[in-house]
Amino acid sequence: MKPIKIFAEHVEAGAMEQFLSAMRQEFAVKGALMPDAHTGYSLPIGAVVATDGLVLPAWVGYDIGCGMCAVRTSILKHEILPHRERIFDGMYRCIPTGFHHNKRPSQWDYQQYPMTPMLKSLFGKNGLSQLGSLGSGNHFIEISHDEQNHVWIVIHSGSRNLGHATATHYMKLASKSGKAREGHFGFRADSQQGQDYITDMRFCLEFALRNRQEMIDRALKEIYHLVRGGETPVRLAFINRTHNHAELKDGLWIHRKGATHAEKGMEGVIPGNMRDGSFIVVGKGNEESLNSSSHGAGRAMSRTQAKSLIKMDNFKRQMRGITSKVVKSTLDEAPDAYKNIFEVLKMQADLVEVTHHLLPIINVKA
């Protein structure tokens, strides 16, 4: 029997079947399912699986390197409050959201990182124009405060269209039918195709990190300009964790799809929802979880269900006091669309320790 650990109390049937199907593959060695697990494709969101010698693009997902960044500033909550509306507007002014890109390409010395000719061609089209853009869906910028009223900037975003196009290319290449989402197909890590995927995945991880860093830099500059008249921004802490990646450890390829790396002593960020904010955590290095934790609260409803079942009046009431985009287009991101983050955190008490609960002042979505 392969080592399997389920940290979720209730897992929807579709997600469980996807997970067990993955674990039945001969190359799957051990796996874990996080408390926020829900149905995805090929492998459920919130799954961690170790494989022997095989890398599977579909088990990393489309948004390669999607993850969280958090930075603590020298600004206090009371300094932000009088400027919250201007800061909210300023975020949309300096950071493209949704399908929008920068009007001028961002600066980044990307040529220091290896990439295949295929990815170089993809990146050359508009890679630098995407750098420093948020995206849509559950991606967000959150200006929040901790228990001592220190202001934090928290960002959830990934590798944008570059990562999606890269993942699509390799999923189709791995599949027997040429379809991106079909089955449990991958590459031997020591094959040329496997090496190509690993090279391009790692580039997308760097791009996703640089993307978040660029947005944090812009957000810091905007906030310090509005609050402290252009004073040089100060970072008192910086945390970055991805939750869509594969890494080689102890001879096995650890695939995390919607799961956060949580080695012993490793800081991370677990977001809840637009109302309940985010949590700074420290990993406990739990081997049964393959040194992982949840990447968020996990969806309780699909986007279609949320837009059909959640009422705007309730959404507005829940978001009272938080400067945010509370409109029909963000209804699928309402707090009720997600599982109870406090219950999810209880389920992973053996995986991470919460060190800060960051309560939102401003929330930015596409």
Q: What is the DSSP code string of 183-205?
A: SS--EETTSHHHHHHHHHHHHHH
How is residue 270 written in tokens? Answer: 């677990």
**Cα separation, 312 vs 307, whole angstroms:** 9
- Residue 182: the pLDDT is 65
Q: Delimit the domains of the chain by residue range.
A: 4-300+338-364
Residue type, position 91, single letter: M
Which one, of 103, 86, 113, 108, lies nearest residue 223 by Cα? 86
Are 171 and 180 contacting, i.e. CB atoms less than 8 angstroms apart? yes
Q: What is the pLDDT along the chain (366 residues), one digit of tens a residue?
A: 799 999 999 899 999 999 999 999 999 999 999 999 999 999 999 999 999 999 999 999 999 999 999 999 999 999 999 999 999 999 999 999 999 999 999 999 999 999 999 999 999 888 999 999 999 999 999 999 999 999 999 999 999 999 999 999 999 999 977 776 667 999 999 999 999 999 999 999 999 999 999 999 999 999 999 999 988 998 998 999 999 999 999 999 999 999 999 999 999 999 999 999 999 999 999 999 999 999 999 999 999 999 999 999 999 999 999 999 999 999 999 999 999 999 999 999 999 999 999 999 999 999
Measured distance CA(213)–CA(209) in Å, rounded = 6
Tell me the backbone φ, ψ of residue 355, rounded to 5 degrees.
Answer: -110, -25
Residue range 4-300+338-364 in CATH 3.40.50.1370? no
- Rounded to whole angstroms, how far apart are CA atoms 347 and 113? 38
Q: What does the alpha-carbon distance between residue 37 and residue 7 come to, in Å, rounded to a whole number?
A: 9
User: For residues 140 and 322, is the Cβ–Cβ distance under 8 A?
Assistant: no
